[in-house]
Structure formats: structure tokens, C-alpha cells
Structure 1
Amino acid sequence: MATEASTDGTEAPDAYEELVERYRRIANVGNASGILSWDQQVMMPEGGTPARSQQLSALSAVHHDLLDDVEVGDLLDAAESAELDEEQAAVVREIRRSYEREVRVPTELVEEISATSSEALSAWEEARAADDFEAFEPYLEKLVDLKRQYAEHIDPDADPYEVLFQDYEPYLSLERTEEILDELKGVLVPMIEEIRESETPITTTAFEGTWDAEEQEELAREALTLVGYDWDRGRLDTSSHPFTSGTQFDARVTTRFDESDPLASLTSTIHEFGHANYQLGLPDEAYATPLGEARDLSVHESQSRLWENHVGRSKAFWELFLPTVTEQFPDAEGVTAEEAYESANQVYEDNLIRVEADELTYHLHIVIRFEIERALISGDLDVSDVPETWNDKYEEYLGIRPDTDADGCLQDIHWSHGNFGYFPTYSLGSVMAAQLYESAEEELGDLDERTRDGDFAELHEWLRENVHQYGKRYETGDLVREATGEEFTAEAFTDYVTEKYGDLYDLDSA
């Protein structure tokens, strides 16, 4: 690689190496914050919030100041003047993007957002447990205001919601996202209506009853081992909202248990496995650089939704896993694989909870959140009106109305983190998962056959080779094109659900 001098006399390759070394320090501060956040949600004593909010605020300020440094800008300029290979150019691109967003936001605002989010998390947990939205309302109101300020600093001329969305998906436009959501609604709404009117409804009672939480946890561990979770670099815990946290060396998953619904914890555990599996599949040697980091949330969600839906909700999986279920829960001994499969894919008429939703109505849950948070950020909706608006939209889109805010607008953790713009990535990830799974099957052959045999090695290897190994080398659309040979499209997803649910419910449209 040629050596070129920058305007301040620094040799460009030297500048690149120094830039990467600086980024490693920045990334490690962020990873340390992640561990503290995990601890707050999983193990921290209830009284620890005042100190933890200060700790996270301080680390967020350090992270911000390390990146918001004129020397980083000089190093970027020098590195960009060199003859970089494709991977190095991608590293510089990603650091440049982070740098340009970071330098526009005052440190004081970064600290305030972090401290408020930490306090809001505890307030949300208490408000949800007490079904008391008013207790959470002032925190949500403050976070909405702070995030508007944040967006204003980054780009005062842009739609503030789009600015926030770009924190989670920088390389797919909000316009394209809305097109995909509209396409999903166009296919799913009439399909759901047809299912509800179907003469062959799924009303299986395969998993009715009471299922001990400790026994469910053992079952969740069996499932994680079966699909290939690396216990040397991970762990399973419980939290009020399932999530994954970590790096390629330490990727932890959490789930939660409902003793009346063992499928909910099982599917959420497999979902979180998909996230952890992506983290663990990132290249070790690129740790704490953009090449060792996941390609944003749409791709991350594609991994979790692929394992949850295309593997964990498949008939082949239940043919494989049902004996383990019956061994753990003898009361399930009479359940057939077909009944278990139908239970895992039943389209519910009365499900209020997103993380427990079926594969079809799930996306209407996302649309509702998307519309509400867009209105919040634009100022078209007051925070005090969120519960009623939420309930109205559930009635409009899903034909059900929450009786409590705990089952309504308080059910998700994301707004307590200030994560406005996050929700659309769930649907984008589902769409991407179908496209990736279709391509994997075209290359590897019948994946259901491998699932029945408990052989996930080739799917793991395909995902490692086509998605995980690249980190942030490619932008989102380019990564999909690299993996599948096609542009990012919803076609594979709509074909998949049309065929699957057409067969399950004997639909005329299939």
C-alpha cells in the first residue's frame, strides 16, 4: 500500500493504524457500558439505580469525547488520502459516519440522555409491574424531548424521526422502509382476515396448563444447546424483557417465563440465540473495530427471526425437539409433532403482547409502534395521549383492546432506553431473514431435512460465510446482495408466509 502524507505531515497508513487504535478504545468503552446495562437489567440490586445512572452517564461522556476529538477528524482525513484496500476503506467509512454524527451532539446532551435512560429503565419496570403509565410518563416525555434535541443537532433540516432511525439502520432509507411495511400490510391484513374466517382454524390445546418456570428454563437451555449456542462464551438469564448483549467473546441472552405459555419463552429464547449467534460469529481478530461489529439492527434482526421462525417454528424442528419437551414435561406426552407445530404457528385473535405474537400479526404490532413514535417525535402526539392512542390502534389493526397499560403501551422496554426508530428493524429483519434462508436453502438443499436430524452445522457455516464474517464491511443492501445475489426485497417473505399459512389454514389465496 502506498504511503501518502496528510496535510499535517502524518503518513496516511500510520494515520489509519492510529485511527483504528483510537477506535478500539472507543469501542471498548461502549462494550463496558453494555456490561453495566446488562447487569442493571439482570442482576443489579433494586437500589443501585442512582449510582448506575451516574456510571453509565460518565461512560457515555467518555465514549462521546473520545470520538468527538479534532484529532480523530485529522486522522480520518489523512487515512482517506491513502490507497486503502476495500476492508480498510469500509473501516474508515464507518468511523467517519460515527464521527460526523458524534461531533454534532454536545457532550452534556449525551450525558443527559444516558442518565435519563438509566433512570427511565427502573421507572418503566416499576410502572409496568404496577400498571401505572402516569409513573413512567414524565420520563418518556423527557426522553422524547431529549431525542428531538439530539436529532436537531445532527441534522436540523431532516425529518427528526429519520435521523433517529438512522442510528439503527443507516443504509436503508426511511422511505424504503415505509414501502416494505406497506407491502407487508397489503399482504398480511387480508391474509389474517382470511385466516380468522377460515373453516379450518387452528384451535389446538397442546400446551394448555401450568408449566413450571424452572422446568421451562431447563428446556430453554436444552434448546440453546441443540441449536448450537456456545456456552463457553455465553449464558442464559431472566429479565423483564428478553434481550441479548455482548461481543464475539461474550454474548449473553435473557428470556422470561410465563407458566401458562411455555411456547413464548421457548420462541423468545431461540430468537435471542439468533442475536447471540451473530455476535459470536463475528471475526475474533477484528474485535473492537467496525469489521468485528454487527451490521446494524435490520441484519441483526434477520438472524434472530431466521432462527426463531424458519427454524424454531418449523414442523421439522418440532419433530426433532418434541421428545425433549415430553421428557422435561411428561404431561405433554400425548402431544404430536403436528399439534406442536400448529401451536407454534397459531394466528391469534387476542394476543396483545408483541414478543408473544404469531408470525403474521407480529408486524401489525410493529406498525402500531412505528406510527406512534413517529407522531411523538414530530409533536403530533402528546405523551399523555399514548395509552389511548395505543389502545385505539390495537382495536383498529388487530380487533382487540388492552385492558391494562401493562399489556398495552408499557409492554416494551425500548422507549425507556430512548430507542425511537428501533421498531421498524424488526420487520425489516423478518423480511431479510426469509431472503437469506431462501438463498441458504438454494445452496445447501433441504434445510428441513437437516433440522429433523439436528444438524445445524451447515446453516451455521453458511451464515458465518455470507453474513457474520463481514462485520460492517458492506452497507446493508450490499451485504444482502453479496449473500443472496439479489437486491433486498420482501418477495421471499411474502412467498414464504403465503405458502406456509396457506397450507396451515387451507387458504384460497395460497
Structure 2
Amino acid sequence: MSTYDAFEAHVERMTYVNDAAGLLNWDQQVMMPEGGTPARSKQQSALSAVSHEMLTDDELAGYLDELEDADLDGDQQAVVREVRREHERAKRVPEELVERLSRKTSEALPVWEQAREDSEFEAFEDELEELVQLRREYAEAIDPDRDPYEVLFEEYEPYLGVDTAERVLERLADELPPLVEDIADSDAELADPFEGSYDVEIQEEMVRDALDLLGYDFERGRLDTSTHPFTMGTQFDARITTRFDPENPLESVGPTVHEFGHATYMQGLPREAYGTPLGEDRDLTVHESQSRFWENHVGRSAAFWELFAPTVEEHLGESVTPRECYEVANEVYDDNPIRVEADELTYHMHIILRFEIERDLIRGDLEVSEVPAVWNDKMEEYLGFRPDNDAEGCLQDIHWTHGSFGYFPTYTLGSVLAAQIDAAAREDIDVDARVRAGEFDPIREWLREQVHSHGARYTTPELVEEATGEPFTADHFLDYVDDKYRALYDC
């Protein structure tokens, strides 16, 4: 066996362990009995330790040294690059810290779920305090001389840089509020055709029809419900979850289509490359671009509702027009505190709020006990209102429960990239005509060819240029929302 073959076999085994841990995490959030946490936290901790050992052991280090100047093709060089990056970060982190982090995130989940149900931040405060401290230790272990938040951000987006995130967020913070203000000042009244309560079971049938229509492969996936919608898996098993609101029957469509975007990216990754970076996604900015493409540029389009409104009528028993559904899906809210229910415009103010709080927490500029008050103040500053309680405020997201500090900016970066990808796709495909006709195969194939098929072969900036023909830019997103919402609200 050549050095590269032995190296690749090691990487594949490591991937299989990580994917098994992911399934345990999915199970905990979706199906595990409430009493399973003590055992699950130990199982997750053990698998994290095994994965960390495999990523940092001397055998892998030896392979990487031998392959440093080897004559490798482009794909092999990409695999070595990605594994070396992860290896060099991981080898600086003590194994016992990895185990403590894994154990704590598993233990924190049910505490957060109960605190959120009770709307009581104090019940989760100690868990969050420990998670923040553990993540600070983690960042310091990797590089004690750098901004710890920057180090953590690279867990989720290693190639764009936190400076890019800050630049994009600052630009959106400057340019979106005037549009939102013009919408608030307009006289437009959007449709609100739904009254009463709608059975969750009926809503689930409706979103399953949406997934069938879009082309979700249920032979390699499944749909379940969870407190916070998410997607997890591989190209062979990409599972999604959603949630339902009896009073707002179309609220489940957006999150379900969003998670479909994540899952269809996974299902579109090269099957023959499973186990190596060539069969893995290109981190969270690109991942989020796929979910936001389908949620916003397809699922919120007038063309989609021309196609899907009859299905809504069939399941909900309401006489609704495509235009009414389109307006419901695109209403800009002036008082919605929940990020995952936010419209395309104010959504990014939610992200800016979270970004600033988690950055200050990790840098030590904000105490955990101060989070609820600061959250409420920032929501008033950026969105114009205060949440009624902690469940609608600082307890609504699961990310910090996972120790995922640095994750939130990728939502906005992904939304920006989705608009850039959409603009590129429309150069080759009449997207609206295809959507209106229910012909989603050409759209999925274009995305597979331009994005999914590359796995992690390219860095993020390289993949953006490969897929769109230009560097990463927020121009397309700002043009898209300005054109769409000024037309919708006649402002």
C-alpha cells in the first residue's frame, strides 16, 4: 500500500467515526428517550476522544510529513490540504478538553430545552458559562496569540475570514434598514388569508408533498420534527427535521425547504469519495448558500407559489391564490422576535445581534449573566422591539448549547452567496420558468455540477469563483432584495 493509500484509509476510518457520532447527536435531538442523556453524554465523549486521537496521532502526522513533497494529483493535494489543516488545529487541543466539551454539550441540551420551555435563562446560565469557558480554552489551545473568536469562527468557515464576515454584516447593517423603513412607511397591505388552527398532521402531509415536488430522495433521507430544525448526515443518509405552528400553517414550508437545501447538497456530494474531504461539504457558508437558495430564491418566489398554492388549498381546505401565498411567504415583520421565522430582510439584524453577543462573550467583554439584558437591548436597537420573555429572546437558538460560537455569521454569508449563485444560475437556466413548471431536476443538476460535485476540493473563495465566475460579493443580494421588496410593497 502506498503512503497516500494508507493515509486515505486512515482518513476514511476517522470520517466513519465522526459520522456515527453525528447520528447519535441526531437521535438525541429527535428520538432518544428523555432519560437517555447520562449514557449518551458518555458515548459522545468516547467517540469524540477516539476521533481526536485518530486526527492527532503520530501515524497520521507521519503520513502528512511523507506527503508534503510527494507527486500528487490535484484531488489528492486537496485531501492532504484539508486533513493537514484539521490535524494542525486538533493536535494543539488536549484530548481531555475535547472530551469535556463533548460531554458538556450533550449534558447541556436537555437543560436548555427545559429552560427554553420554562422561559428561564437562569436555569441555563451555569451551563452556558461552562460552555463559554470551554470554548475559550479551546481557542487558546489552538492559538493563544490570536483573537479567540476569530479562531472559533474558522471552525465553521476556515477560508473567508472573520474580517469578511464583519465587512458583510456592517454593509447589511447600513443598507438594509433604509429599505425596511421604506416598507414600514408604505401603504401596502399584504394578504393574511389563514385564520384558526391547522392540524400538525395535515401540515406535515403538505410539506412532505413539497419535498417530493422538489426532489428530496427519501430513500437516502427522512423527515422528522425537533425543537430546532436541522439537517444531519451524508450523501447516503441526509436527514432533515422541521417544526409546525398550528396558527401559521405556511410557517413550516420555509424551514422545511431550507433544510431540503442542506440535504440536497449532502445527497449531491460525490458518493465514490465518501470518507474523504472530496466527499464532504465545503463548510458552512457554502452549506448555508444551498439552503437559502432553495428557501428564498425558489421557495419564496412567485413562481413557486403559482405551482404550490393548489397543494396548500388541498391540504388546508382554504381557498387561497398564488399571490396570497406569495405575500404571506414574503411579509416583512416589524415585531417578530424569532430568528427562524424572520423575513429575508430583518433576518440579518437577528444575525448581527447574535454575532456581537457571542463575539463579546468569547472575548471576555460580556458576562454570561448579562446576556438577557444585552440581548433585549440589542433587539430593541436593531429591530425596534423587545422580546416578551427569554424563550423569545436569548434562549431561542440551540447553537450555544452545542458550543457553536462563531457559527451565526455563516447564515448571512450563506444568504449573500445564495443570491450570487442564483444570479449565476439564471445566466444558464430560466429558473422561474422551471419552478413554475415543477421541473426542478435542471436546477438541482446545475447546483450539483457547479457546487456539490466538488466536495471540499476548492477553498471557499475558489469554489465561489468556480461556481459563479466572480469573487464573493454582497452586491447580488442587495440588488435582489431591493428589487423584490420595493416591487412587493410599492415603495
TM (norm. structure 2) is 0.99
The superposition leaves residues 19-43 of structure 1 with CA deviations (integer Å, 9 ceiling, x where unpaired) of: 1110111111100000000000000
Q: In the alignment, which of 95, 112, 120 is matched to residue 100 of structure 2?
A: 112
Q: In the alignment, which of 448, 467, 476 is matched to residue 432 of structure 2?
A: 448
Q: Which residue of 2 aligns with 1:305?
A: 292
Q: Which residue of 2 aligns with 1:163?
A: 151
Q: Which residue of 1 aligns with 2:13?
A: 25
Q: Which residue of 2 aligns with 1:3?
A: none
Q: How do residues 34-53 of structure 1 correspond to structure 2 at under 5 angstroms?
A: 34-53=22-41
For these two proteins, the number of residue pairs brought into alignment is: 491
**CA distance, structure 1, for counterparts of residue 69 and residue 410 of structure 2:** 34
Q: Which residue of 2 aligns with 1:200?
A: 188
The aligned amino acid for 2:214 is: V
Please say which of residues 183-192 and 37-46 is displaced more in the overlay: 183-192
Q: Which residue of 2 aligns with 1:266?
A: 253
Q: How do residues 344-493 of structure 1 correspond to structure 2 at under 5 angstroms?
A: 344-444=329-429, 446-493=430-477
% same residue: 62
**CA distance, structure 1, for counterparts of residue 193 and residue 147 of structure 2:** 48
**CA distance, structure 1, for counterparts of residue 107 and residue 251 of structure 2:** 28
**CA distance, structure 1, for counterparts of residue 67 and residue 353 of structure 2:** 44
Where structure 1 has 5 or more consecutive residues not aligned to the other structure, the ranges are 1-12
* SS, match of residue 396 in structure 2: coil
Please state if 1:174 is matched with 2:162: yes
Please state if 1:337 is matched with 2:322: yes
**CA distance, structure 1, for counterparts of residue 278 and residue 264 of structure 2:** 16
The aligned amino acid for 2:230 is: F
**CA distance, structure 1, for counterparts of residue 65 and residue 193 of structure 2:** 62
**CA distance, structure 2, for counterparts of residue 78 and residue 470 of structure 1:** 25
The superposition leaves residues 135-187 of structure 1 with CA deviations (integer Å, 9 ceiling, x where unpaired) of: 11101000000000000000111100000000000000111111111111122
* SS, match of residue 237 in structure 1: strand
Q: Which residue of 1 aligns with 2:236?
A: 249
**CA distance, structure 2, for counterparts of residue 148 and residue 187 of structure 1:** 33
Residue 207 of structure 1 contacts residue 343 of structure 1 at CA under 8 Å; is this kept in 2? no
Give the Å deviation of 1:44.
0.2
Q: CA RMSD in A?
A: 0.8
Q: Which residue of 2 aligns with 1:100?
A: 88
**CA distance, structure 1, for counterparts of residue 291 and residue 193 of structure 2:** 25
**CA distance, structure 2, for counterparts of residue 185 and residue 22 of structure 1:** 45
* SS, match of residue 264 in structure 1: coil
The superposition leaves residues 264-290 of structure 1 with CA deviations (integer Å, 9 ceiling, x where unpaired) of: 211000000000000000000000100
Give the Å deviation of 1:329.
1.0
Give the Å deviation of 1:209.
2.4
The superposition leaves residues 64-113 of structure 1 with CA deviations (integer Å, 9 ceiling, x where unpaired) of: 00111112111011112211111110000000000000100000000000
Q: Which residue of 2 aligns with 1:87?
A: 75
Please state if 1:72 is matched with 2:60: yes
The superposition leaves residues 207-264 of structure 1 with CA deviations (integer Å, 9 ceiling, x where unpaired) of: 3321111111111100100100001000000000000010000000000111011222
User: After TM superposition, where is structure 1 displaced by more than 3 Å over at least 4 residues in a row?
Assistant: none
Please state if 1:501 is matched with 2:490: no
Give the Å deviation of 1:205.
1.2
Please state if 1:138 is matched with 2:123: no
**CA distance, structure 2, for counterparts of residue 234 and residue 341 of structure 1:** 28
**CA distance, structure 2, for counterparts of residue 278 and residue 467 of structure 1:** 8
The aligned amino acid for 2:481 is: V
TM (norm. structure 1) is 0.95
Residue 195 of structure 1 contacts residue 201 of structure 1 at CA under 8 Å; is this kept in 2? no
